[in-house]
Amino acid sequence: MQRLTQYCAFILFALLSTQAGAQAAAAAAPVKIGYVNIVRIESESTIAKQSAEVLKKEFAPREAQLLEMQKQGNDLQADLEKNSATMPAADRAAKEKRFAAMAQQYQQMQRSLFEDLEARKRETFGGFVTEINAAIKTVAEAGKYDLIVQQAVYNAPQFDITEQVMKEIAKRTGGK
């Protein structure tokens, strides 16, 4: 029994020694950390700029329609303000009713446009999130980083690898 106790104590000592040695080695090796500014990638990368252009072209007709409706509403409002004192009550009431309906329709169309645009932005960005993550992984492995963070309260410039990631994205997408 005493021999078993000695054997267990020896194994415990060996495990602790090995673990302490591993911790000392890990503590001696510097940790390499990088930071990626995703917001900057979303706004400045070539793929993001192209996506924004596509969305702008896609939603341009609806925006033009909204601007035309806004102009018509402003003209109607100006007419009401200018001529309401001299126009018959029935005409004034009809124009006010038409103006209220137009304003309501404008707000609905504006809200619909905003919701559709935001949904398309999410779809588009979702499509290249995978590409961004793959580029981050490539840069991290090539630079032998131990940790890459995407959100930070503060980051020193020497940790920022955003530019490298944007170059990798451009290389992967053929500079598109």
Tens digits of per-residue pLDDT, 4-50?
A: 445 434 454 444 455 545 455 555 678 999 999 988 888 888 888 88
Q: Residue 108 and residue 101: Cα distance in Å, rounded? A: 11
Query: Could you tell me which residue, 74 or 25, shows the higher pLDDT?
Result: 74
Weakest-pLDDT range from 42-46, 69-73, 78-82: 42-46
Weakest-pLDDT range from 101-105, 119-123, 134-138, 159-163: 119-123
Residue 23: which H helix or E strand, with range? helix 2-28
Percentages helix, strand, coil for the chain (3-state, rounded to 5) are: 80, 5, 15
Q: Is the distance from CB of 152 to CB of 35 less than 8 angstroms?
A: yes
Convert the pLDDT of each residue in 88-132 to its tens digit: 888 888 888 999 999 999 999 999 999 999 999 888 887 788 888
pLDDT more than 90, % of the chain: 43
Domain borders along the chain are 1-29, 31-172
Confidence (pTM): 0.60
Pick the most confident of 60-64, 84-88, 129-133.
60-64
The superfamily in CATH containing domain 31-172 is Skp domain (3.30.910.20)
Q: Is the dihedral of CA 42, 44, 50, 52 positive or negative?
A: positive
Q: Residue 163 and residue 169: Cα distance in Å, rounded? A: 10
Query: Could you tell me which residue, 15 or 83, shows the higher pLDDT?
Result: 83
